[in-house]
Amino acid sequence: MKNIQTIFIKTVSCFFILLFVYASVSKLLDFENFQVQIAQSPLLSAYAGGISYAVIIVELIIVLLLTFPSRRLIGLYLSTALMSAFTIYIFLILNYSDFVPCSCGGILEKMGWTEHLIFNILCVVIGGLSVLIMGRANHKTHRKTALILGISNILSCILVIVLFFKSEYIIKQENNFTRRFLMHPILKVKSMDLENHSFYFAGAKNEELYLANRSLPQNLLAVDSLLKKAVNTKIDLELSKYPFKKIEIKVKDHHYYIYDGNVPIILKGKLCNTQNKVISSNDAFFDQLEIIDSNKIAIRTLSSQTRNLTLGTILINHNGKNQVTLHPDLLEKQLDGFFDSDGYLSSDPIRPTVNYIYSYRNQFLVMNHSMQLIHRWRTIDTTKIAQIKVTSLSNGKSKMSKPALKVNGHAIVYRGLLFNPAQLRGRHESLIRWKESKVIDIYNTESQEYIGSMYIDNIKNNTMSDFRITDEHLYAIIGNQLVQYKLTQSLKKHFKNGEAENRVSE
């Protein structure tokens, strides 16, 4: 009987030695990939740097302890506790995670997560039995051995649970610039060829898309949801009457809007009609515009008093006496009030909110349709102060004296989610993957919760230039391709309905 117990203990010890040697060496040989996998874990994302080293070190220490007979009992205690930690980790992944990440390497990478869980449970069982048997063989009381075994396993499980809750909070609320990529949030469906690379999204109505063309600025292309039917409309414009320099078109509901901020003119027409009329003339110069509703337009302009970028609204009145209201306190000056406040204005087509995301700092604003501030949230990047250097010229103007560190792209908002084309690579991200795709970070605009990120792959070395979200699809313009992606439930479940939170920040 004693020989059988000795053989069992030695067999279990050898098993754990082989397991941990194989696992640790596999991780070391592909350490960068292992760190990326840890960074994608919904439990350990915030601690990927430290944990990636700690797991390997602990596994190798256990191997050393199991190798020496005098330290074998401690090694078995630690082996069982570590396998208990891995077991609770997989249980949380399978039951409380928004997605299932990649496995942790070695032979376990060949297993499914359910098989992985069963394997770990068996390891805990044989590890626990070997501890009890060896403890009794070393003349230790059964109660003391069981108590130490129980406490060590419970503590290892508690550690993993604590890491789970703390990591979730850090990633979603106090991120240290570690991205977590959603599991298949979009699936490519189809694509269609466009004539050139000059198209951009003017808007969408239900699942019908409207594309404008910078090379042919009077044209508006309507594309159906199947990407099979495309109808081009040439809008009538009196170009001799209005000295437009850079025409832009936006579509909202059943109307299109034509504007050029260099010329303080806004025209409006019905989608089925090439004729249009002026709805705003000489009310304000602006460089960005967002349609809030049929009577209100949000703008970004340059304050004539402070020379700072300023957000405002134009209220369209039927009598022609439009009202312009500026909100100089919304955009916060850091350095010069112009370059440091640069960013992108967007409005949610479903919910009554307007958003502004800064280009050079990790912040975005959420406002109601009256342009009252609701929230001032941060993105996961750590750039709080705009990294720009501005030089004043003799003519009174300013310019950037060196390239600025751009943080955020032209973000759009849909159903309470902010979709931000990121400009900076996060921690533990693959450089190759970063170069081969565009990363979009997704935030809940009500709770400042970082939802996750997703990749939009390049096509023929062309990166995504513009995109739009609908209830069912993401549409992207990549080079001369219009690409349709189907939204999966892992993303759609975060959508909000049409009712928005109206609480205004102090």
> What is 311-323 written as a DSSP string?
EEEEE--TTS--E
Q: How far is Cα 358 from Cα 342, in angstroms, rounded to an integer?
A: 6
Residues 128 and 164 placed together within one structural domain of the fold:
yes
Q: Does a structural domain hold residue 322?
A: yes
- The whole-number pLDDT of residue 404 equals 78
**How much is the pLDDT for 495?**
94
Contacts of 303 (CB under 8 A, 6+ apart): 309, 310, 326, 328
Residues 53 and 94 in one domain: yes
pTM: 0.72
pLDDT digits (tens, 9 = 90+) for 384-424: 998 887 776 666 666 665 667 899 999 999 999 999 999 98
Q: Which of 172, 201, 222 is the last residue of a domain?
A: 172
> What pLDDT is recorded for position 45?
61
Do residue 369 and residue 442 come from a single domain? yes
Query: Domain check: are 357 and 436 in the same one?
Result: yes
Could you tell me if residue 423 is inside a domain?
yes
pLDDT digits (tens, 9 = 90+) for 20-45: 998 888 888 877 777 766 766 656 66
Residue 244 and residue 165 in one domain: no
Please list the residues that pair with 478 across neighbouring strands: 464, 481
| pLDDT tens digits along 260-314 | 878 899 999 999 899 999 999 889 999 999 999 989 999 999 988 888 999 999 9
* 335 — pLDDT class (breaks 50, 70, 90): confident
What is the rounded average pLDDT for all residues in the chain? 86
pLDDT band at residue 428, thresholds of 50, 70 and 90? confident
* Domain edge (last residue) among 144, 172, 200: 172
Give φ, ψ of 482 to 5 degrees: -100, 115
pLDDT in tens, 203-242: 998 789 999 999 999 999 999 999 999 999 999 988 778 8
Q: What is the pLDDT of residues 117-166, one digit of tens each?
A: 889 999 999 999 998 888 877 666 678 888 888 999 999 999 888 877 77
499 within domain boundaries = no
CATH number at residue 192: 2.130.10.10
Q: Of 112, 147, 172, which residue sits at a domain end?
A: 172
Q: Would you state the pLDDT for residue 505?
A: 47
Same domain, 96 and 228: no
Its domain, for residue 125, covers 2-172
Please indicate, yes or no, whether residues 329 and 291 belong to a single structural domain of this protein.
yes
Are the beta carbons of 249 and 220 closer than 8 angstroms?
yes
Domain count, the chain: 2
Same-domain check for residues 212 and 96: no
Residue 497 lies in a domain: no
Indicate if 135 and 223 belong to the same structural domain: no
Do residue 392 and residue 432 come from a single domain? yes
Domain match, 401 and 317 both: yes
Q: How confident is the model at residue 501 (pLDDT cuts 50, 70, 90)?
A: very low
How many C-beta neighbours within 10 Å does residue 74 have? 16
**Helix, strand, or coil (residue 20):** helix
The answer to whether the CB of 91 falls within 8 A of the CB of 84 is no
Over residues 493-503, the mean pLDDT reads 71
Residue 375: left (phi > 0), alpha (psi -120 to 50), or beta? beta
DSSP H/E element including 11: helix 2-29
pLDDT at 352: 93
Task: Evaluate whether residue 506 is within a structural domain.
Answer: no
Q: Same domain for 239 and 91?
A: no
Percent with pLDDT over 90 in the chain: 53
Rounded CA-CA distance 121/136 in Å is 23
